[in-house]
Structure 1
């Protein structure tokens, strides 16, 4: 089986593409509804762009999407929902009212119901959240899992250190991870996740720890040569700002956290699902430990980052093992993306076009309505000592020569040396002539002089695979640390 990367709404993907009883392990790290702005990639987002606010800032609104989801649950659409889930959500309407929190819980109930469906009878589910809504989420999980023969197994506390403390509060230094099983039987590889004993324990019981023939009980613990059994609180440090693992993604989780979950609750060759895969920590760990994986994310920024992370970590060959859905691969699918009516994804076409053409090296401008005609930027090495700027503008509708004249003015305002105009429609002759009138750019780092304004069609990108070929001054997305796959078989390491 290949690995699958889906670009789109995870509810739609789960319902359309993921089969019943097909997944061994699911981990999700959804938005927390804590009204905190984690957005560092997509900064400066306000009310003018609710699309990205919905996707990247964990605040929720009681909008048409929430009302539709509530109606599905309250009427038990197609018999999808348990009686307990229906009563819970309809009852919470009386307690919470139709607002942000209920919208969040409706969204999560829809998706948790689908995750339960796709899990194998022996499958496990880990939901990562913070204390803001964890008590409500546990009610949802109980209503979906426990009412259908599943078990609540653990409330795992992920403890970590951090900088700074609030003046009138205790320092917040933990997240919660709920662990459930779909049935009575489930995978749990204890020996794969044992922890090293403390030095004091090693000294006191060194003769037992070193004795591989057996164990020695003391108190409520049991000494094992492979290490101690982990507790339900995990002290795993977040990724340091200078760590090679850090990719610049605002909610990135450390690989060590996912390693423990994946090793404990899956085996080699098992299928692991992450329905909010973000920067791809789950899929990267699955690659490292020989698990098959399914990743879903609604933003192309995440999809592009995952592909780059996997290529940086495991080489270009890994991309050949991935089946990609929802990512435009021809004109028909590009046009479909450009014409999406969903307000959450109205900028996705622009992001896809810029990131694809630049091989995921551009910085995206996400400020809809105030982008000043700039959809993306790269800095490249020119003759000046300081980096020079190239700007991108993407159009999916009708285009005309006036668009190029406007772009010339934008170049002046932005102090840009080069501009790329990406268009879904074919450019007119007047547009090509106007672009030529902007003049040529020459540099010692470019073999031939080039037009200051270049027009690239989406057809060039998807059919001719035309890509930006210029020496950049920096990479927006930090390369993931190179990984070495280590297969341990019969006492031998195959590097």
Structure 2
């Protein structure tokens, strides 16, 4: 599935991020890396898709399993570190880790992260930064790795993001309510832009409590006396002729000008000189390493796509704005549902996203196209020919099914109870009364015969689905086509439109753009809202 890569276009890669970085990304070509890798929490995360008919609970499909196992590829990665051109210090560290914890799941996680973080160090520019999102499960071990790979002197912050309210039902410990974001730079010359947020209302009420007559400007008063008493050049009488001699923070010339401009006042019945600090001249409060002002995404949030571990766009916008410039390159090697990519596109950055599932790739493609209909990006690694599709099926039947469903804009499905339910995806449509109906999608990549049509019809009856589609990798037999045609047509309620009860379409036909005779299914997947890029906002005011 190798294809020519346009070096000037944003890119979305399907595949193992280690292989993608090694094969496609040049040394010192990335300005900012944000990664939110699986935390090794020993949980399976599912994407939640709502059943639009209201007859069933939400369906789920596993997005990823947050457990890393010691297996052949892990041993290969460990051997690569031990025998490859890695530093002696990293080899010693990994050897100590494995002696301490054995070939455990945690050691597998650290091994796979070590080899990837080393690649990220290679591709990061000297002025670049990396933000690694994690939780307490393994953050202390990850920090040791990053201290070595990026150098402890390039550690910048351990950002604490308060992502949720504490759970009151926990009785044997304090509730977990935060994630950790470890921040490192490639060098001491890394780009960084300080950010500010609005002052807390209680802070304003307490300190900016004065209102200037005539202008209505809110201000606070600051002390101008100097705590250092041994400053002859700052020791003088002020106001002139008052006999009030002190050591001041400012020179006499600056003090006199501020007095003339009304920026310095003498408080009534006092010899204390105060400076007016106007609220409208302040940038706000500096953003610190404690982030409690960005709300986590609950299921009903308008940003939520049902993807597990989805982060708020505001979180990624803060990271990208502070640590990259417009036109810079942002990489997310575990891009999930594409929040970092969406934020990068909005803020005028170039981007590279990588994920190992077609579920994520399909979600990101739809999200970016919904947010920014004119966005230009290249998807690398997804099948572009029948030969590619066959190769994907042979490599991973599950990923093949997910990809095939995405060709129709469908909602992928796998039973969380295990086993083959005969359903690989859903489409939804509604009649003139807004009543929703499901369309069952089944994907077949191997051998099939007429009995598969009868089996799919049985699934449709079980699910009360009036219509079904079988996506076939190979051309169906004449008997299958005859069996499907014999099922007749179904009339969409409230219309004169009739659709075949069951249709067969090949991958080759989908590549060619064949239109199936189906009702409008555009409401199947949640549509992300149209976004306006920051540059477009600025141009509106010119």
Q: Which moved more, 1:404-413 or 1:163-172?
A: 404-413
Larger Rg: 2
Alpha-carbon separation, structure 2, partners of 1:377 and 1:179: 41
Alpha-carbon separation, structure 1, partners of 2:405 and 2:310: 23
Structure 2 match to 1:485 = 533
Q: 1:124 to 1:256 in 2, by over 3 A?
A: same
* Contact preservation (8 Å) 1:195, 1:227: yes
**Uncovered stretches (5+) of structure 1, i.e. residues with no partner:** 44-51
Q: Which moved more, 1:395-404 or 1:25-34?
A: 395-404
Alpha-carbon separation, structure 2, partners of 1:426 and 1:144: 52
Residues 237-284 of structure 1: CA deviation (Å, up to 9, x unaligned): 202433221211111101111111101000000000000111111011
Structure 1 match to 2:349 = 291
Q: Which moved more, 1:252-261 or 1:195-204?
A: 195-204
* Contact preservation (8 Å) 2:499, 2:518: no
Structure 2 match to 1:194 = 196
Residues 413-453 of structure 1: CA deviation (Å, up to 9, x unaligned): 33321111111111111111111122222224665423211
User: SS where residue 46 of structure 2 aligns?
Assistant: coil
Alpha-carbon separation, structure 2, partners of 1:409 and 1:31: 38
* Residue 69 of structure 1 pairs with residue 77 of structure 2: yes
Alpha-carbon separation, structure 1, partners of 2:527 and 2:429: 18
User: SS where residue 89 of structure 1 aligns?
Assistant: helix
Query: TM-score under structure 1 normalisation?
Result: 0.85
Q: 1:486 to 1:182 in 2, by over 3 A?
A: closer
Paired positions, count: 459
* Residue 60 of structure 1 pairs with residue 108 of structure 2: no
Alpha-carbon separation, structure 2, partners of 1:367 and 1:160: 27
Matches within 5 A, 1:122-161: 122-146=127-151, 151-161=154-164
* Contact preservation (8 Å) 1:202, 1:209: no
Give 1:56 deviation, angstroms: 1.1
Matches within 5 A, 1:10-409: 10-41=17-48, 56-76=64-84, 79=85, 81-146=86-151, 151-162=154-165, 164-165=167-168, 166-190=170-194, 193-202=195-204, 204=207, 207=219, 225-235=282-292, 236-315=294-373, 317-318=374-375, 321-340=376-395, 345-357=396-408, 359=409, 361-365=410-414, 370-381=419-430, 386-409=435-458
* Contact preservation (8 Å) 2:166, 2:176: no
Q: Which moved more, 1:133-142 or 1:236-245?
A: 236-245
User: SS where residue 31 of structure 2 aligns?
Assistant: strand
Alpha-carbon separation, structure 1, partners of 2:445 and 2:451: 15
Structure 2 match to 1:415 = 464
| Of 463, 466, 470, the match for 2:512 | 463
More strand by share: 2
Over the residues paired in the alignment, what is the CA RMSD in angstroms? 2.8
* Contact preservation (8 Å) 1:25, 1:125: yes
Alpha-carbon separation, structure 1, partners of 2:362 and 2:47: 17
Alpha-carbon separation, structure 2, partners of 1:384 and 1:154: 55
Q: 1:338 to 1:479 in 2, by over 3 A?
A: same
**Uncovered stretches (5+) of structure 2, i.e. residues with no partner:** 1-7, 51-60, 209-217, 223-257, 264-273
Structure 1 match to 2:477 = 428
Query: TM-score under structure 2 normalisation?
Result: 0.78
Q: Which moved more, 1:278-287 or 1:224-233?
A: 224-233
Q: 1:122 to 1:451 in 2, by over 3 A?
A: same
* Residue 5 of structure 1 pairs with residue 12 of structure 2: yes
User: SS where residue 38 of structure 1 aligns?
Assistant: strand
Give 1:107 deviation, angstroms: 1.1
Alpha-carbon separation, structure 1, partners of 2:49 and 2:75: 27
